[in-house]
Amino acid sequence: MPVEMASGFSALAAALVVGARRDYGRQAFLPHNAVYVLLGAGLLWFGWFGFNGGSGFSVGNASILGFVNTLLTPACALATWFVLDALRSRHVTAVGAATAIIVGCVAITPAAGFISPGWAMALGVVAALPCYAVIMWRPRTRVDETLDVLGAHGLAGLIGIVFIGLVANASWNGVADGALYGDWGQLGSQLVAAGAAPVYAFVMTFLLLKGIGLLMPLRATPEQEATGLDIVAHGEEAYATGEGAILVVHDGAVEFEDEREQEKALV
């Protein structure tokens, strides 16, 4: 709740307060590098085994269950995402695969030590469906929340939290059952948490950003956005050649970062 689900709804509040980028809706903002995206997702999934498995504080049943479920849920979310991508566009995308892995990891995090491996697999499928729908729908709106924190973290975390209330099994976790195993009160507790946390995160983030905005700007100026924040913030570019390169001015002298640009200027 305080990490994944809250961050998703805080991100929504931030996107609404700060507003969309200057070219949002007119220019395609593509991922920087699909290979790096996949590499990052793989590293995250690897680290998530320590995150969830280590939450048991021992090499015991809870840690082993958390470890196994952290393998199964993202894998099933990934397979489901492949099917959804294929049905929608007839292509299975690398960035979609990375997103599915994160959705699965987030969804199982609250439930890792409390549900059976079979239900962990089901959670991967169940979580992928609404998260995929939200992530596909969001670019059609004016909400410039480009990392899809709401869909991949906020919604996935909410589903995982509610899933505990439904299918937690004391024979696996040694703590409590969910509604399908006889304890409807547990489901009620999970629903209260799943309702309160998003409201708190959204409202408080919205108010905090509004307050900060009274004291300092929350975003770059249009001129800074047009120049590029690599230049504005760092005085350099990630790519010094090619079509993305621009002119950098130092002490009144113009330095051409691309030979073709220099030739054009001389002509």
CB half-sphere exposure, 90, CA atoms < 13 A = 0
Across residues 132-147, what is the average pLDDT? 89
Q: What is the pLDDT of residue 265?
A: 44
CB of 54 closer than 8 Å to CB of 46: no
Task: Report pLDDT digits (tens) over 194-247.
Answer: 999 999 999 999 999 999 999 999 988 888 888 888 888 888 877 666 555 555
State yes or no: pLDDT of 252 exceeds 50.
Answer: no
Task: Report pLDDT digits (tens) over 107-122.
Answer: 999 999 999 999 999 9
Q: How many CB atoms lie within 10 A of CB 187?
A: 20
Helix (H) or strand (E) holding 181: none
pTM of the model: 0.84
Task: Report pLDDT digits (tens) over 12-71.
Answer: 999 999 988 887 767 667 777 889 999 999 999 999 999 888 887 777 888 999 999 999
Question: Which parts of the chain fold into alpha helices (H)?
Answer: 4-18, 34-53, 61-89, 94-108, 117-137, 149, 156-167, 170-173, 184-213, 222-227, 229, 259-266
pLDDT band at 72 (very low <50, low <70, confident <90, very high): very high
- DSSP letter at 54 equals G
| b/e map 86-116, b = 16+ CB within 10 Å | eeeeeeebeebbbbbbbbbbbbbbbbbbbbb
The span from the CA of 48 to the CA of 206, in Å, is 30
CB of 20 closer than 8 Å to CB of 30: no
Closest CA to 97 of 28, 31, 144: 31
